[in-house]
Amino acid sequence: MIEADVGVSSELREDLAELYRDLHQNPELSLQETRSAGVLARRLREAGFDEVTEQVGVTGVVGVLRNGDGPVVMLRADFDALPVEEKTGLPYASTVRAVDRDGRDVPVMHACGHDMHAACLVGAATLLKQARDQWRGTLLVVFQPAEELAIGAQGMIDDGLFERFPKPEIVLGQHVAPLPAGFIGYGTGPVMSAADSLNITLYGQGGHGSRPESAIDPVLMAANVVTRLQGIVAREVPPAESAVVTVGRLQAGTKDNIIPDQAELGVNVRTYTPQTRDLVRAAIERIARAESAASAAVAEPSLDWFSSVPALVSAPEETEATIGAFIKHFGAERIEQMPQVNASEDVGVFGEALQVPTVFWFWGGLETEPTIAAFAEGRMDQLPGNHSPYFAPVIEPTLTTGVEALIAAALTWLAKPQEADSL
């Protein structure tokens, strides 16, 4: 149980709500989160953290709170936004625009709830600092950038996260989701899929549309590749396994009567096991090369795997212990086991890099009673989900639940004072 003096007071609740509204109204794209990083670093310093470091992995923020002998426990939140135009109609809705990495002017919105993640971690860090008499060890607070690009975690590691700061023995994280506010969802083992992205360039020979015999058509080549890729899951992946292959981009040509000399495909893959992941990746490459050969392409296709995130595995034993703490604090009626989520998260990169357990859970951000009714009536598809221009968590009880979940999880793994005294 969380002791009374670690609970969220009405004063702190309103303070965190104001922080959340500020972050929501001022979103920043991945690796552009300079204002947000400054706000979060300042809040850690105001909370009493003596060790606060900015610009870790470009825009990441790390806070260290040492409190005697004991385990090192890492709490992580992401805080980047998306190129989405907000349509919530909230008084604190974003109207921000920015230039993305490709030089395009785009709208910006916290459409995935990372602003709520950050506000909750500020609250948990503040209260854990105030309650140092209840635990011993070291708290590593990590605000991670660029989760939406799936490069932020690795970027912080490459910038010396685990050489410059204490190495955690467990990584704890959470994600707000289209669940009833006040409720927590969890899974054990692989809870979110691996994600791999690939650009394929197919090389033909351009020509006039009236003389196809003098050209090698990369559009036809691309169409055949797209069709064949859909057979991987249907005919090569074992039925007991789960995988998704999506061609989200197909670009070729400039005019209807010109056969272009190349076509480009953007492919995304979701899997849960290393074996299936390797199988699907190899099959995609085999199909692209075989279709190029069958079409007498002028060159081998270009295959560029440009983004890769492993499956997020919530360590079973450590997850069960953490969920046990949630049940004691929130009550079993507010805790639900969830099916696997076919989206991806790069928080698992931290634990995988150190070979330490990761525990990850979801908590609800939609109005409680209407959402419960929608679930009961099978209307879940009508609820705004993550990445929707209409997704914005209700501030309460979402905020308080997120803060208390982080505290309960941290106190599960930090040493109790009597345990530390016996070391």
- The 3-state DSSP class for residue 318 equals helix
State the Cα–Cα distance between residues 247 and 164, nearest whole angstrom.
40
pLDDT at 418: 77
pLDDT at 5: 61
Q: Is the peptide bond before 397 cis (omega within 30 degrees of 0)?
A: yes
Give the residue among 187, 127, 133, 153 at the shortest CA–CA distance from 322: 187
Per the structure, the count of domains in the chain is: 2
Say which CATH number the domain at 68 has: 3.40.630.10
Around Cβ 247, how many Cβ atoms within 10 Å? 18
Helix (H) or strand (E) holding 211: none
- The 3-state DSSP class for residue 296 equals coil
Q: Which residues are 137's β-sheet partners?
A: 67
Residues 164 and 294 in one domain: no
What range does the domain containing 266 cover? Answer: 194-309
State the Cα–Cα distance between residues 360 and 345, nearest whole angstrom.
10
Burial class (CB in 10 A: 0-12, 13-18, 19+), 214: exposed
Which is more confidently placed, 51 or 4?
51
320-342 burial by CB neighbour count: b if 16+ within 10 A, else e? eebbebbeebbeeebbeeeeebe
Residues 166 and 288 in one domain: no
Helix (H) or strand (E) holding 364: strand 358-366
Residues 320 and 370 in one domain: yes
pTM over 0.85: yes
Strand pairing report for 194-203 and 302-309 = antiparallel
Residues 25 and 156 in one domain: yes
The alpha carbon torsion through 177, 82, 303, 353 (nearest 10 deg) reads -60
Reported as a single tens digit per residue, the pLDDT across 198-229 is 999 999 999 999 999 999 999 999 999 999 99
Looking at 244, 276, 309, the residue that finishes a domain is 309
Residues 111 and 202 in one domain: no
Question: Which residue's entry shows tokens 């135009």?
Answer: 85
Q: Calculate the CA 315 to chain-centre distance.
A: 17
Res. 422 pLDDT band, cuts 50 70 90 = low
Reported as a single tens digit per residue, the pLDDT across 381-393 is 889 999 999 999 9
pLDDT at 281: 98
Give the residue among 310, 283, 197, 292 at the shortest CA–CA distance from 246: 197
Residues 117 and 181 in one domain: yes
Check pLDDT > 80 for residue 256.
Answer: yes
Query: 360 near 312, Cβ under 8 Å?
Result: yes
Mean pLDDT of all residues in 362-380:
92
Report the amino acid identity of residue 323.
Answer: I
Res. 7 pLDDT band, cuts 50 70 90 = confident
Report the amino acid identity of residue 336.
Answer: E
Strand pairing report for 72-78 and 137-144 = parallel
Residues 337 and 263 in one domain: no
Res. 374 pLDDT band, cuts 50 70 90 = confident
Looking at 309, 344, 367, the residue that finishes a domain is 309
Residues 99 and 230 in one domain: no
| Percentage of the chain modeled with pLDDT above 90 | 94
Looking at 279, 309, 339, the residue that finishes a domain is 309
Residues 81 and 158 in one domain: yes
What is the number of alpha carbons within 13 Å of residue 207 lying toward its C-beta? 13
The size of the chain, in residues, is 423
Residues 129 and 236 in one domain: no
State the Cα–Cα distance between residues 218 and 207, nearest whole angstrom.
11
Sorted by sequence, the CB contacts under 8 Å of residue 281 that are 6+ apart come out as 196, 198, 269, 305
Around Cβ 382, how many Cβ atoms within 10 Å? 8
pLDDT at 382: 87
DSSP state of 379: -
Reported as a single tens digit per residue, the pLDDT across 275-333 is 999 999 999 999 999 999 999 999 999 999 998 999 999 999 999 999 999 999 999 99
pLDDT at 116: 98
State the Cα–Cα distance between residues 271 and 344, nearest whole angstrom.
10
Residues 204 and 179 in one domain: no
Give the residue among 343, 389, 331, 301 at the shortest CA–CA distance from 110: 389
Query: 186 near 177, Cβ under 8 Å?
Result: no
Residues 291 and 331 in one domain: no
Say which CATH number the domain at 236 has: 3.30.70.360
